[in-house]
Amino acid sequence: MKARSWTIVSLLVLGALLAACAAPAPPAEEAPPPPVAAARFQTILDRGKIICGCNAELPGFGYLNPAGEFEGFDVDFCKAIAAAVFGDANAVEYRPVTAPERLPALQTGEIDVLIRNTTWTLTRDTANEVDWAAVTFYDGQGMMAPEATGWKTFEDMEGATVCSTTGTTTEMNLADAFRSRGLDYTPLLFEKTQDTATAYEEGRCDAQTSDKSQLAALRSAMEHPEDHVILDVTMSKEPLGPLTAHGDDKWNDVVRWVVWGMVQAEESGVSSVSLDDMLESDDPTVRRLLGVEGEMGTSLGIPNDWMVQVIRAVGNYGEVYVRWLGPAGLNIPRGPNELWTNGGLIYAMAVR
Amino acid sequence: MTTATEVMKPPRTEVGVLGWLKKNLFGTWYDALLTVGSVAFISVVLYGVTNWALTGAKWGVVTTNIKVFMVGRYPYSEIWRIWASIGLFAVMAAITGVVWRLNIARARRAVTISWIVVSLLTVVLLAGFGENTPIPRVPLAIWSGLMLTLTLGIVGIVASFPIGVLLALGRRSNLPVIKVFSTMFIEIVRGVPLITVLFIAMLMLPLFLPASISGRLSNVLRVMVGMTLFSAAYVAENVRGGLQAIPKGQYEAGRAVGLNEAYVMALIVLPQALRAMIPAIVGQFISLYKDTSLVVIVGLLDLLGIAKAVTGQTEWIGTQKEVFAFAGVIYFITCSALSYASRRLEKQLGVGER
């Protein structure tokens, strides 16, 4: 049987399909990938909005509210960058990304900036060709225990049973923390974080370990969150912050200075409440920060009133922290995320 | 067989409820054991589930977020467009029902055409035009929730069917280029997991295409293309199975009455082949519909993605069970509807009877 006319039709349609998939990639187009990265900032300006890779399911940091809008600590930094560049905090296209695709999405230019609780490590910085801009949250592995125990340090916890997830760095850090102090403990290991939380709540262990932000989220899901404390001990470094693709320096500068500008604003007492008064301030740092004098914004390639827009849209660093991670939110003590002037690690480079 | 009962009534333990029980549940001692065991197991599970559903579960997470579950990030101010689309479809369904029930042969063609028109209208209505029009553009990229799940499912099913048929015909073709291309396409796609196809569509495509083009393809569109091509390969094999089952005499008879090859295929062979393959093809469609939940992995917020996203709300942390149960019920309802429709279709076309 020779269904020739049918096969010709098939050929045409399949050919068209194939052409649609493959044709627009002539070899000549593959030559200039570096300019794509370098020209990212211009692309963003032309587009009129930033594409922000974010988390869609992390309590306090990035999730959907009942109206279907993204909100959270990380999301506020997306808004801040949009406010600084375009004077409009809504000039953002949120692109939820999962852990395995987040770095490739940045490399392929799917997203302009990734703000999704990504720990700044040497391997990621080099092997994945990405550049962190700043640190917005110093996370670290912590310990949660019932308040009634009165525990403060590892030494208090001699002989305790600790719930942890198995086969992760979490388990290793836990072992290191106790062994280096010569203390005894019994680990109780589970596959999933949710299971460790359940075991802890059922009283099968005396304490539970995980990243502090995670512990805070687990705690707020408990029936009596007020009965549990996150101890002031830290077992690992998990600095989280926004990152951009490698070789995209101008754009990276904008992102980092927006973060540092928000930190400087808190340090200088500029908040969404005091903004109007601060515009009249005599403090040279404040005047430069708010664009009253000097050309800070202009030299970044963005409007000179950039920080005014940021503060108006989301507030300073401290306000963003309190909004999502303060007592009304996840209730994570500021700890290392306190300003350096208050004994924390949050420090802005000089705005001048 | 049944006429024998008219002569003399059997003993009471052989008919009615008792008879049914004895025959089906307590026929032998091991039947009885199995029955008792199963009933005990089912009661324990049912008790646990209902107890949790009625007392322990925090259903507030579903009721508070019902808008997000259904239409995701579709803007509040534009939701009337979704209602309008649902209304259009309801009206069309009613008209179709009346026309078919009353068997108005003349109206059938008009109804079919208006279905196509209404579908296109709905797409335009939901997606919108430019900025300053009464229906502003709602970019595909923010479609989410059940709406995205249904969109991916419907587009995948509608688009993969014709492509699948063409691929099946191509694979049986005598022209070597077409045959080799179709065979390679089908075999390569079937040799790759859907997850990989999705990752390629999401992350590799921008590397192959120049930025000016890939920037304009929304991630939803890319996933649609990936899923459609994936499903088409499977549909093609189902259709090929159907084509092979048609005896050669059918082709020859068609040629004998003077039809050309296109007509033989379109009027004689394909209708029979497709009719025979309905169960297999619908099975493929149901599996495609459920596979849409995999798009979570590439960061799209379909029904399942939304379920995970709302558990991030500080108020509803730890309500995974509730949201997944809700999503499961919705999947069950929609999949059952699909297989019900398939059974109706089979009955009307008399599959397995002729």
In a domain, B25, yes or no: no
Question: Looking at the 3D structure of chain B, how many domains does it have?
Answer: 2
pLDDT at B57: 86
CB interface of B with A, residues 20-59, below 8 Å:
none
- The domain locations on chain A are 37-138+240-342, 141-236
Do residues B221 and B151 share a domain?
yes
In a domain, B237, yes or no: yes
pLDDT in tens, A93-103: 999 988 888 89
| Side chain identity at residue B189, one-letter code | V
HSE-up of residue B76 (Cα within 13 Å, Cβ side): 7
HSE-up of residue B38 (Cα within 13 Å, Cβ side): 8
Partner residue facing A3 (CB), from B169, B211, B317: B169
Do residues B166 and B242 share a domain?
yes
- Architecture of the domain delimited by A141-236: 3-Layer(aba) Sandwich (3.40)
B301-325: b (≥16 Cβ within 10 Å) or e: bbbbbbbbbbbbbbebbbbebbbeb
Residue A247, min C-alpha distance to chain B (Å): 17
CB interface of B with A, residues 224-263, below 8 Å:
225, 248, 251, 260-262
Let me know: does A11 contact B175? Beta carbons within 8 Å.
Answer: yes
CATH of the domain at B199: 1.10.3720.10
- Angstrom distance (rounded) from CA A72 to CA A320: 9
Partner residue facing B261 (CB), from A4, A56, A109: A4
Interface test with B, best of A2, A4, A7 (most B CBs within 10 A): A7
Contact: A64, B265; criterion CB under 8 Å = no
Contacts of B3 (CB under 8 A, 6+ apart): none
Do residues B128 and B165 share a domain?
no
Residue A32, min C-alpha distance to chain B (Å): 10
- Backbone angles phi and psi of B136, in degrees to 5: -60, 155
- Backbone angles phi and psi of B349, in degrees to 5: -90, -5
pLDDT in tens, A192-220: 777 888 899 889 999 999 888 888 888 88
pLDDT at A17: 53
Do residues B186 and B224 share a domain?
yes
3-state secondary structure of B173: coil
Which chain B residues are within 8 Å of A66, Cβ to Cβ? 64-65, 67-68, 310, 313
Let me know: does B285 contact B157? Beta carbons within 8 Å.
Answer: yes
Q: Quick one: average pLDDT of A22-46?
A: 59
In a domain, B32, yes or no: no
pLDDT at A33: 45
CB interface of B with A, residues 274-293, below 8 Å:
none
Share of chain A above pLDDT 90, in %: 58
Burial class (CB in 10 A: 0-12, 13-18, 19+), A128: middle
Query: Is residue A27's pLDDT more than 50?
Result: no
- Angstrom distance (rounded) from CA A223 to CA B150: 37
Partner residue facing B309 (CB), from A43, A56, A330: A56
- Angstrom distance (rounded) from CA A119 to CA A227: 30
A141-236 has the same fold as A37-138+240-342: yes
Instruction: Give the residue numbers spanning the domain of B303.
Output: 143-246+277-346
- Backbone angles phi and psi of A14, in degrees to 5: -65, -40
Which chain B residues are within 8 Å of A6, Cβ to Cβ? 169, 173, 261-262, 265
3-state secondary structure of B72: strand
pLDDT in tens, A286-334: 999 999 999 999 999 999 999 999 999 999 999 999 999 998 888 888 8
Let me know: does A7 contact B173? Beta carbons within 8 Å.
Answer: yes
Let me know: does A108 contact B207? Beta carbons within 8 Å.
Answer: yes
- Angstrom distance (rounded) from CA A14 to CA A8: 10
- A129 to chain B, any CB pair closer than 8 A? The answer is no
CB interface of A with B, residues 61-90, below 8 Å:
61-69, 72
Do residues B125 and B235 share a domain?
no
B143: β partners: B72
Q: Give the residue from A149, A142, A141, A140 showing the smallest Cα distance to A206.
A: A149
- Angstrom distance (rounded) from CA A94 to CA B155: 24
Do residues B91 and B111 share a domain?
yes
Encode chain A in three state secondary structure: CCCHHHHHHHHHHHHHHHHHHHCCCCHHHHCCHHHHHHCHHHHHHHHCCEEEEECCEECCCEEECCCCCEECHHHHHHHHHHHHHHCCCCCEEEEECCCCCHHHHHHCCCCCEEECCCECCHHHHHHCCEEECCCCEEECEEEEEEHHHCCCCCHHHCCEEEEEECCCHHHHHHHHHHHCCCCCEEEEEECCHHHHHHHHHCCCCCEEEEEHHHHHHHHHCCCCHHHEEECCCCCCCEEECCEEECCCHHHHHHHHHHHHHHHHHHHCCCCCCCHHHHCCCCCHHHHHHCCCCCCHHHHHCCCCCHHHHHHHHCCCHHHHHHHHHCCCCCCCCCHHHCEHHHCCCECCCCCC
Q: Give the residue from A61, A55, A57 showing the smallest Cα distance to A329.
A: A61
Interface test with A, best of B182, B317, B320, B321 (most A CBs within 10 A): B317
Q: What is the DSSP string of B180-245?
A: HHHHHHHHHHHTS-HHHHHHIIIIIHHHHS-HHHHTTS-HHHHHHHHHHHHHHHHHHHHHHHHHHH
Which CATH number does A37-138+240-342 carry?
A: 3.40.190.10
Residue A262, min C-alpha distance to chain B (Å): 24
Partner residue facing B210 (CB), from A29, A63, A66: A29
- In chain B (354 residues long), the average pLDDT of successive 10-residue segments reads 62 75 82 92 94 89 92 89 92 88 82 90 86 82 91 93 95 92 94 91 78 73 92 94 91 91 90 88 92 89 92 84 93 93 83 59
pTM of the complete model beyond 0.90: no
Sheet of A70-71, strand order: A57-58, A62-64, A70-71
Contact: A24, B167; criterion CB under 8 Å = no
Let me know: does A211 contact A142? Beta carbons within 8 Å.
Answer: yes
Residue B11: DSSP 8-state:
P
Contact: A59, B313; criterion CB under 8 Å = yes
Residue B64, min C-alpha distance to chain A (Å): 6
Do residues B156 and B96 share a domain?
no
Contacts of B325 (CB under 8 A, 6+ apart): B53, B57
* Stretch (H or E) spanning B110: helix B105-127
pLDDT at A71: 93
CA distances from B232 to A9, A210, B178, B285 (A): 17, 45, 16, 10
Query: Is residue A29's pLDDT more than 90?
Result: no
- Backbone angles phi and psi of A59, in degrees to 5: -50, 135
Sheet of A141-146, strand order: A185-190, A160-165, A207-211, A141-146, A228-230
Do residues B103 and B120 share a domain?
yes
Would you tell me the crossing angle of helices B270-291 and B320-349 to the nearest 10 degrees?
A: 170
HSE-up of residue B351 (Cα within 13 Å, Cβ side): 17
Which chain A residues are within 8 Å of B166, Cβ to Cβ? 9-10, 13-14
Q: Quick one: closest CA in A to B74, which residue? A: A68
| Cβ neighbours of B204 (radius 10 Å) | 13
Do residues B227 and B175 share a domain?
yes
Interface test with A, best of B225, B314, B321 (most A CBs within 10 A): B314
- A7 to chain B, any CB pair closer than 8 A? The answer is yes
Do residues B165 and B132 share a domain?
no
- Angstrom distance (rounded) from CA B153 to CA B158: 9
Query: Is residue A26's pLDDT more than 60?
Result: no
pLDDT at A38: 59
In a domain, B40, yes or no: no
Query: Is residue A21's pLDDT more than 50?
Result: no
Let me know: does B71 contact B145? Beta carbons within 8 Å.
Answer: yes
3-state secondary structure of B324: helix
- Angstrom distance (rounded) from CA B182 to CA B177: 9
Q: Quick one: average pLDDT of A34-62?
A: 84
Do residues B166 and B121 share a domain?
no
CB interface of B with A, residues 130-149, below 8 Å:
141, 144-145
Contact: B314, A330; criterion CB under 8 Å = yes
pLDDT at A28: 40
Residue B300, min C-alpha distance to chain A (Å): 7
Q: Mean pLDDT of all residues in chain A?
A: 87
In a domain, B2, yes or no: no
- Angstrom distance (rounded) from CA B122 to CA B118: 6
In a domain, B318, yes or no: yes
Q: Tokens 């049986």 correspond to what residue? A: B172
Query: Is residue A255's pLDDT more than 90?
Result: yes
Do residues B197 and B175 share a domain?
yes
Residue B240, min C-alpha distance to chain A (Å): 14
Let me know: does A268 contact A286? Beta carbons within 8 Å.
Answer: yes
| Side chain identity at residue B126, one-letter code | L
pLDDT at B312: 85
